[in-house]
Amino acid sequence: MAASILRRSLLIPRCRAGDVAALHSGPSRRRAQAPEPIASGRRAGNCPAGERGVAPWVAVVGLEIHAQISSNSKLFSGSQVQFAAPPNSLVSFFDASLPGTLPALNRRCVEAAVMTGLALNCSINKKSLFDRKHYFYADLPAGYQITQQRLPVAVNGSLSYSLCVGGKKNQMVTRTVRIKQIQLEQDSGKSLHDDIRSQTLIDLNRAGVGLMEVVMEPDMSSGEEAAAAVRELQLILQTLGSSQAIMAEGQLRVDANVSVHHPGEAYGVRTEVKNINSARFLARAIDYEIQRQIKELENGGTVMNETRAFDYKLGCTIPMRDKEGKQDYRFMPEPNLPPLILYDTKSLPANTNHQQVVNIDWIRERLPDLPSVRRVKLVEQYGILPEHSFTLLNEDGLMEFFENVVRQTQMNPKKVIGWILNDMLGYLKQYNLKVKESPVSSLFLADLLNLLERGTISSSAANQVLEELWKGEGKTPLQIVKEKKLGLIQDQQELEQICQAVMEGHQEEVMEIKKGNQKVLNKLIGLVQRTTRGRADPVLVKQILEKRLSQ
Residues that bind another protein (CB under 8 A): 1-2, 5-6, 9, 12-16, 19, 93, 96-105, 132, 134, 136, 138, 141-144, 200, 202, 328-332, 335-338, 356
| Collapsed DSSP state (helix, strand, coil) of residue 227 | helix
CB of 207 or CB of 421, closer to another protein: 207
Shortest Å distance, C-beta 342 to another protein: 15
Shortest Å distance, C-beta 333 to another protein: 8
CB of 348 or CB of 385, closer to another protein: 348
Shortest Å distance, C-beta 80 to another protein: 18
Shortest Å distance, C-beta 311 to another protein: 24
CB of 143 or CB of 418, closer to another protein: 143
Shortest Å distance, C-beta 123 to another protein: 25
Q: What sign does the dihedral 161-162-166-168 (CA atoms) show?
A: negative
| Collapsed DSSP state (helix, strand, coil) of residue 210 | strand
Name the packing angle between helices 442-453 and 459-469 (round to 10°).
160
DSSP-assigned letter for residue 342: -
CB of 9 or CB of 493, closer to another protein: 9
- Within 10 angstroms of residue 351's Cβ, the number of other Cβ atoms is 4
Q: What is the secondary structure of 69-132 as a DSSP string?
A: ---SB-SSS--B--TTPSTTSS--TTTTT-TT------HHHHHHHHHHHHHTTPEEPSEE--EE
| Collapsed DSSP state (helix, strand, coil) of residue 59 | strand
Shortest Å distance, C-beta 264 to another protein: 33
CB of 109 or CB of 294, closer to another protein: 109
Shortest Å distance, C-beta 417 to another protein: 52
Shortest Å distance, C-beta 337 to another protein: 6
CB of 5 or CB of 511, closer to another protein: 5
Query: Which helix H or strand E contains 261, and what residues bound it?
Result: strand 252-261
Rounded CA gap, 311 and 318, in Å?
Answer: 7
Shortest Å distance, C-beta 191 to another protein: 10
- Going from the C-alpha of 253 to that of each of 65, 128, 203, 234, 512, the distances in angstroms are 6, 24, 19, 11, 68
CB of 102 or CB of 304, closer to another protein: 102
CB of 352 or CB of 412, closer to another protein: 352
CB of 206 or CB of 388, closer to another protein: 206
- Most distant pair of Cα atoms in the chain: their distance: 102
Rounded CA gap, 129 and 124, in Å?
Answer: 13
For residues 192 and 221, the answer to whether their CB atoms sit within 8 Å is no
CB of 91 or CB of 163, closer to another protein: 91
Rounded CA gap, 351 and 356, in Å?
Answer: 11
Rounded CA gap, 237 and 250, in Å?
Answer: 14
Shortest Å distance, C-beta 23 to another protein: 11
Alpha helices in 395-537 (DSSP H): 398-407, 413-418, 425-431, 442-453, 459-469, 477-483, 492-505, 507-515, 520-531
Q: What is the CA radius of gyration of the chain?
A: 30
CB of 14 or CB of 261, closer to another protein: 14
Rounded CA gap, 147 and 211, in Å?
Answer: 9
| Collapsed DSSP state (helix, strand, coil) of residue 381 | helix
Shortest Å distance, C-beta 338 to another protein: 6
